[in-house]
Amino acid sequence: MEHYELIVIGAGPAGTPAAMAAAQFGKKVLLIDKRGEPGGECLFEGCIPSKVFENAANRYAIFKEAQNFHIELKSSVQIHWEEVLRDKEKIIHRRSKEALMMIEKIPTLTFKKGEATFVDAHTIELDAQHYSFDKALIATGAKVNIPPFTGNGIKKAWTNRDVFFEEEIPKELLFVGAGAISCELAQMFNKLGTKCTVLERNNRILQHVDKDIAEVIEQKMIDSGIQIELNVSITSIDYYENTFNIHFSQNGETRNLQKEQVLLATGRNANIDTLKLENAKVSYDRNGVEVNELLQSSQPHIFACGDCIDSPHFAHTASYEAGVVVHNMFAPHPRKVDYDKNSWVLFSDPQAASVGLGEEEAKKRGIDVIVSSYDFSIDARAQIDKEELGFVKFIIDKKSRVIIGIEILSENAASLAGEATLIVANKMSAMDVMSAIHPHPTLCESFGKLAQKIFMGMMIQKKQNREKEERL
């Protein structure tokens, strides 16, 4: 039986960097993935293909908006969807191939295709072969959650895995769920001419997004022609004569809709069903493998990270966790994960970005905060671009004066998120941000101007407090 110092199960954005880092430190590592190609869900069926589609849709939409900049287009504009699909495949396989080449250059790292299962706490089985290990990392990601709706339409509905392989743009598409995947794809397909409908069980879309941001995106979706139905409880999805019939109740009323195609975007579950974790006595629940702040499971030598644990489900967060795992496996002094500096971007229209603690989360923790915003309607760059919808919001710990969170709503939120991440990660104050000289006219000026607004407000408040004390 071959022995490894580390066995990593899953070659996505958590498993691959962890395996490579450990092997580069000289550890004998086995990396296993059932797909046989590194990249994981994000690369093959998640954020990368969705952004290829989003990029194409946005550029297509630019031509429709050309008249806003006094540009007249004489001929009609067409999009060749089959070429977009080819671009997606090229990018996916290029990135996977490049990752595989990097893996193959590390002599102490072995990559195998297959589905691993635990035999016991120090042994896994792969293709009828047993391999022993000192340490293991579970990084198997998440899978699509299929809700328990009745009806034969469930098996025929798309998920995010299906939609990226369809060769034709649908004429109409109904989304079940109004999370990040639905909102991004609904806006994207809407720009391509698809009639989109979104059904959401809650009273607003994007439940995990800042309420001010979600409200603006929801209105933008409605204004663009997307039908949004809230407070919906679906009972069944039937399929007959090439048509989906969706039955649901809404605010006490029974309704149904008929649509050409349905996409289920109802969350994700940890992809751990086939691992036989009970053989290794690794504890898990409905949220995935149970881990501590060091990302150790109930077996201290078996770690888990990425979407198969109860943590923020983002590729970059998984890669961050992978670094923490490798450190805690082989370095003398352990590190705890710190999600208070996590960041994410929603590629909606307009885009949204969040870093650190949101306003609601800070208040839940009992942190007394100062919240202040800079509205892009007064910004020179936003006025030039005719993209005035949006804002930058700072959430500041009133006691320490540290900026603990930043929310951004802007057509260019993804580009602005980098500076926001550095501000929060380095625990900067408004004074620190104000001391930077931001170029004009750019959207990143918003950070400096908001910091100046907050600083001046604090100075005025101090002055008023002094004057009040003197009067007393």
Q: Which residues contact 179 (CB under 8 A, 6 or more apart)?
A: 205, 206, 207, 208, 265, 267
The one-letter amino acid at 174: L
SS (H, E, C) the chain: CEEEEEEEECCCCCHHHHHHHHHHCCCCEEEEECCCCCCHHHHHHCHHHHHHHHHHHHHHHHHHCHHHHCCCCCCCCCCCHHHHHHHHHHHHHHHHHHHHHHHHCCCCEEEEECCCEEEECCEEEECCEEEEEEEEEECCCEEECCCCCECCCCCCCECHHHHCCCCCCCCEEEEECCCHHHHHHHHHHHHCCCEEEEECCCCCCCCCCCHHHHHHHHHHHHHCCCEEECCEEEEEEEEECCEEEEEEEECCEEEEEEECCEEECCCEEECCCCCCHHHHCCCEECCEECCCCCCECCCCCEEECHHHECCCCCHHHHHHHHHHHHHHHHCCCCCCCCHHHCEEEECCCCEEEEEECCHHHHHHCCCCEEEEEEEHHHCHHHHHHCCCCCEEEEEEECCCCEEEEEEEEECCHHHHHHHHHHHHHCCCEHHHHHCCCCCCCCCCHHHHHHHHHHHHHHHHHHHHHHHHHHHC
Instruction: Kindly tell me if the per-residue pLDDT of 66 is higher than 90.
Output: no
- The residue with greater pLDDT, 224 or 148, is 224
Rounded distance, CA 254 to CA 249, Å? Answer: 4
Query: In this predicted model, what pLDDT tens digit does every residue of 369-425 receive, in sequence order?
Result: 999 999 999 999 999 999 999 999 999 999 999 999 999 999 999 999 999 999 999
* Residue matched to tokens 């994960």: 337
Active-site annotation, residues: 440
Q: Which of 199, 174, 179 is nearest to 250 (CA)?
A: 199
- pLDDT band per the 50, 70, 90 thresholds, residue 468: confident
Distance CA 51, CA 84 (A): 11
Quick one: 160-266 is in which CATH superfamily? Answer: FAD/NAD(P)-binding domain (3.50.50.60)
- Each domain of the chain, given as residue ranges in start order, spans 2-144+269-337, 160-266, 340-464
* pLDDT score, position 462: 73
Q: Which fold has domain 2-144+269-337?
A: FAD/NAD(P)-binding domain (3.50.50)
Report the alpha-carbon distance of residue 213 to residue 206 in Å, rounded: 9
Instruction: Tell me if domain 160-266 and domain 340-464 are identical in fold.
Output: no
pLDDT confidence of residue 29: 98
Q: How far apart are CA 110 and CA 29, in angstroms?
A: 6
Residues of the chain above pLDDT 90, percent: 81
Residue pLDDT, tens place only, 310-320? 999 999 999 99
Residues sharing a CB contact under 8 Å with residue 452, sequence separation 6 or more, in sequence order: 430, 434
The amino acid at residue 317 is T
Work out the pLDDT band at 472, boundaries 50, 70, 90.
low
Which residues, in sequence order, are bridge partners of residue 403? 396
Residue 325: name the closest of 355, 299, 301 by CA.
301
Q: Is the peptide bond before 441 cis (omega within 30 degrees of 0)?
A: yes
Residue-wise pLDDT tens digits, 14-65: 999 999 999 999 999 999 999 988 988 888 888 898 899 898 898 888 887 7
Pick the CATH number of 340-464 from 3.20.10.10, 3.30.9.10, 3.90.850.10, 3.30.390.30: 3.30.390.30
280-299 pLDDT, tens per residue?
Answer: 999 999 999 999 999 999 99
pLDDT at 231 over 90: yes
